[in-house]
Structure 1
Amino acid sequence: MHRNKFYYDDTLSMLVKDIVFTLRDFFPNVDVDKVKVVVCRDCRSKAVARIYMLPSVLRFALGLEPIYVIEVIEGNFFALSESNRVKVLLHELLHIPKSFSGGLRPHGKYVNNLTVEKLYHEYIKRKGAELT
């Protein structure tokens, strides 16, 4: 029997919402209801996670507003510690531009390890707990 390669993970969706709400001043325009998290099982990618946006031509044709999908690679992502999972999700969220326009920011000035570490430490400080 064929099983679906993708599935939703409510725990990850709630974690993304928590990150965005906790760091609201860093993600002021992120509409968490338009950021979906899916898990890819049986993927052979070396990536841990990726973010996609729905192309503008499809949004126009379907009459949709910007939508983002964070795909986490099951075997790679869940092998990480809880703290590294948060860092990966922070990294993917940083790709979403402040305008929430449907585009993606490239790696570089804003999407980089230094920014991820800074936001991670701010997240932990605001949550009042260290992750494992």
Structure 2
Amino acid sequence: MGLPRYEPAPDVCRAIEAIRDALGDELGYIDVERVRCYRSIGARTRALARIHGVERLLLVALGIKPIYVIEVVSEKFYRLGLEDRVKVLIHELLHIPRSFSGGLRPHGRYVNNRRVASLYRRLVEKGGVKIICERVNDASWCTGGTGE
């Protein structure tokens, strides 16, 4: 098995945008125009998804604003049901600090399973799951298929 392959994941970006919109009071600071979404194929990791910040010096050298890359590990992420996929994405979004500086929040007080569960409940109460299904526009996202 060689290096992982990466491809754009517009379904994930649409889901993230719907999550941000539904949880605007908590995640409204996230500029979805500066979040890129990719799926990895063949990645050797235990993770379901990862978030990557771009190093500050690189951003300065390139003259660009901070961006974040959310990677979903396709062999694992797309096997999850809708609820777990959404929780994984909420978890990754919580790593982005309010300052949107390019850095990442660590696991702990702000990024933890209790907070993810709380935000997921609020998302459900606001009808956000239905919005995600509409925006992603891929039946397998909402029926538990493979989604690839």
The verdict on a shared fold, with TM-score over 0.5 as the criterion, is yes
Shift of 1:129: 5.5
Identical-residue share of aligned pairs (%): 42
1:80 aligns to what SS in structure 2?
Answer: coil
Question: What is residue 8 of structure 2 aligned with on the other side?
Answer: 8
Question: What is residue 74 of structure 1 aligned with on the other side?
Answer: 74
Mapping of 1:60-71 within 5 angstroms? 60-71=60-71
Aligned residue pair count = 131
How far apart, in 2, do the equivalents of 1:112 and 1:16 lie? 18
Q: 1 or 2 for the larger relative contact order (CA 8 Å, sep ≥6)?
A: 2
2:37 aligns to what SS in structure 1?
Answer: strand
Which digits, 9 at most, give the CA deviation of each residue in 1:72-96, with x for residues without a partner?
A: 1010101111100000000000000
Mapping of 1:44-63 within 5 angstroms? 44-63=44-63
Question: What is residue 34 of structure 1 aligned with on the other side?
Answer: 34
When structure 1 is superposed on structure 2, of 41-50 and 57-66 the one drifting more is 41-50
How far apart, in 1, do the equivalents of 2:32 and 2:129 lie? 23
Greater percentage in helix: 2
Segments of 5+ residues of structure 2 without an aligned counterpart are 131-141
- Contact kept in structure 1, 2:49 and 2:77, CA below 8 Å: yes
Which digits, 9 at most, give the CA deviation of each residue in 1:64-113, with x for residues without a partner?
A: 10100001101010111110000000000000001111110000000000
- Contact kept in structure 2, 1:35 and 1:69, CA below 8 Å: yes
Segments of 5+ residues of structure 1 without an aligned counterpart are none
